[in-house]
Amino acid sequence: MGAWRGMWPSAGCLQAYKRTSSPRLLLSQCIPGLLSDPTILDKYYMSEDVKKALLRNVEMRLTPQPVKVRSDFEVTCFAYEGIDAIKASLLEGVKCGTEMNPISVRLIAPPLYVMTCNTLDQVRSAAGEVEGEADGILLQDVGIKLLEGALEKIKEEILKRNVLDRNF
């Protein structure tokens, strides 16, 4: 127990723990240089095996976890184009995906479709590097925003093609 005394910063981490919803985010904020500079642990009384196990455990806990974002929606088109209009609008929605966050659409049962996007559960700053929660946005939110944009694109495309020709 004496080896762990003084290991955790008391006031800063406790305040951050009260504000943070994820213990993993808290750990990444409290121990920023542990993985890059493991000599920080030299001042504590622990064997090399314990240090290696601690570093492995911290590294494993800080790896981002994949999250699947899903949206169920219905698409119908009673115009002449019909299924071709639906297919074209769904392809426009799939094009809204990125290389890191691809969007896929599957048919459940007509007219019900499912759109999914895989993303990582980590925090990314505006500059692009992974950082703390305070100045970044959750990438899970990026997946939700991608699906919302794709649904809007599908809606625009199907409304554009769903104009019924009234000249019989």
* Predicted local distance difference test score (pLDDT) of residue 106: 97
Answer yes or no: is pLDDT of 18 > 90.
Answer: no
Average pLDDT, the chain: 75
> Which tokens sit at 70?
């899903």
User: How many C-beta neighbours within 10 Å does residue 85 have?
Assistant: 22
- CA torsion, ordered 86, 90, 91, 97, to nearest 10 deg: 170
User: What mean pLDDT is predicted for residues 84-98?
Assistant: 94
Report if pTM > 0.75. Answer: no
* Predicted local distance difference test score (pLDDT) of residue 29: 59
Decide if 146 contacts 97 (C-beta within 8 A): yes
Dihedral sign of CA atoms 156, 158, 161, 166 in order: negative
> Which tokens sit at 87?
């297919």
Per-residue pLDDT of 108-167, as tens digits, reads 998 999 999 998 765 544 444 444 444 445 556 788 899 999 999 999 999 998 765 444
